[in-house]
Amino acid sequence: MSKKNLSGKRFIKIVIMVGALLAIGVEMAMAADCDALFDSVQKQPSLMTKKGMIEDALKSCPKHAGLVYQYGYAYERFRKYDEALKYYNQAIKLDHNYAKAYFGIGDVQVLLNRYKEAIDAYQTGLLYDPDDGRAKNSLNEAKAQYKAESGSEYAGTTPQKKVEAPSSPASVQVSKVKPESPPSFAEVPILRLIVPFAGNATNLSQDAKDVLAVVVGQAMAKGDLAGSRFEVGGYTDNTGDAAQNKEISKQRVEAVRDYLINDFGIQADRLVGVYYGEKSPRFPNDTQENQALNRRVEFKRIQ
């Protein structure tokens, strides 16, 4: 074999190796970009804006399990439960270890009163994240609800790691769940809701109204939440003095209360306003981004 042929073969091998390294480099860069998009999505307080960001991000990163999960979570917040289940299951197909997706399925199944399916989903998720306290509580509540409705106990199936994503059943048994001492499952989207505000603004944006209408107004107007009462807590960042911030938080709370009372007929005594001002920030007020996340209204269950 001639030196020329050896040189040619070596050249081809080098070209192949360089091409492979370039491909790996591009793939790693794309993964890094997708992770950056995911971080941006997680920090976006506006649900409507977040949903649009996810849709744009998925065009470039359709196989990013975290983004797909966030898309399902957005649909859950808008009470589009079939779509939420679809994307939670898709996230699991992309990453079988993604515990949050299993927990998301469990939350939706509970909201639909499918307690057996919820129990299975929570147990599988806890296999991957056994320290998640909220999921443990949700699992226990789902078991209690199943026993209350059926008169029997369901321990759940024995989950195995790296199984196919749970499929949603064809039939749905619907029954009302009256709120008891733990938060009722119909209240979960309300308790997760964060209403953001820009700067010192106290008026509700159209975005905020749309989300409040779907997540809070329509839910509280239904029989499932009859008698439920919520604290409506207002918060600010640390810009300005404490007295001014407390007044701003008050005006934000009253804007939310007025909207729900006037547009959805919610009784005023079911929405108890609390004005925290700059106290109890979600994040340290050390960056403009964190300050924006601290300007908010949240809901807490009273009874």
Report the CATH number at residue 257.
Answer: 3.30.1330.60
Which two structure tokens, joined as six digits, stand for 28?
Answer: 């790693």
What one-character DSSP code corresponds to residue 273?
Answer: E
pTM of the complete model beyond 0.85: no
Same domain, 200 and 143: no
Q: Once rounded to an integer, what is the mean pLDDT over residues 9-38?
A: 56
Same domain, 241 and 290: yes
Question: What is the extent of the structural domain holding 129?
Answer: 3-176
Q: Is the pLDDT of residue 174 over 60?
A: no
pLDDT of the residue at 173: 39
Cα separation of 298 and 194, whole Å?
5
Q: Is the pLDDT of residue 283 over 50?
A: yes
pLDDT of the residue at 22: 44
Give domain status of residue 7, yes or no.
Answer: yes
Q: What percent of the chain is predicted at pLDDT more than 90? A: 30
Give domain status of residue 104, yes or no.
Answer: yes
E strands, the chain, are 194-196, 230-235, 271-277, 296-301
Q: Once rounded to an integer, what is the mean pLDDT over residues 175-181?
A: 41
Give domain status of residue 10, yes or no.
Answer: yes
Q: Note whether 286 and 190 are within 8 A (CB).
A: no
Same domain, 150 and 287: no
Q: Note whether 138 and 124 are within 8 A (CB).
A: no
Same domain, 250 and 206: yes
- Residue 197: count of CB within 10 angstroms of its CB: 26
Q: Is the pLDDT of residue 36 over 90?
A: no
What one-character DSSP code corresponds to residue 164?
Answer: P
Same domain, 224 and 120: no
pLDDT of the residue at 264: 86
pLDDT of the residue at 234: 94
User: For the chain, give me the number of helices (H) and strands (E)?
Assistant: 12, 4
Which two structure tokens, joined as six digits, stand for 14?
Answer: 């080098």
pLDDT of the residue at 104: 92
Q: Considering 146, 176, 206, which residue would you say is the last residue of a domain? A: 176
Q: What percent of the chain is predicted at pLDDT more than 70? A: 79
Condensed to tens digits (0 to 9), the pLDDT of residues 122-173 reads 999 999 999 888 888 888 888 888 887 788 888 777 666 654 444 444 333 3
pLDDT of the residue at 179: 39
Q: Is the pLDDT of residue 303 over 90?
A: no
Q: For 162, left (φ over 0), alpha (ψ -120 to 50), or beta?
A: left
pLDDT of the residue at 189: 81
pLDDT of the residue at 21: 43
Condensed to tens digits (0 to 9), the pLDDT of residues 231-261 reads 999 999 999 999 999 999 999 999 999 999 9
pLDDT of the residue at 192: 82
Q: Is the pLDDT of residue 111 over 90?
A: no
